[in-house]
Amino acid sequence: MIARMWEARAEPAGFAELILWVTETALPEFDHHPLHMSSEVFSSTDNRLVVISKWRGNPLSLPEPPARLVARPPHVWDFAQVDR
């Protein structure tokens, strides 16, 4: 399993719209992909949005968000689960 973490810092005036874009436009594209297991969306008080999606193989990338909604380009990291 691969977990992909996508993090974006929103423009303050665009935070609510960025959440809508992620939840209603970007993530629904994953729902029917056979390797997609689940996705969760988190927000912070400093206008950051984090999406953690879990995949059975190579993860898909979220599309680029509308530039007017983000203060900088999103960052992306992939993680593998550690056996313990």
pTM of this prediction?
Answer: 0.92
Q: pLDDT tens digits, residue range 12-67?
A: 999 999 999 999 999 998 988 999 999 999 999 999 999 999 999 999 999 999 99
Does residue 22 contact residue 64 with C-beta atoms inside 8 Å?
A: no
End-to-end Cα, the chain, rounded Å: 15
Domain spans, the chain: 2-56+70-80
Does residue 72 contact residue 9 with C-beta atoms inside 8 Å?
A: yes
pLDDT for the residue 84 = 87
What CATH number belongs to 2-56+70-80? 3.30.70.100
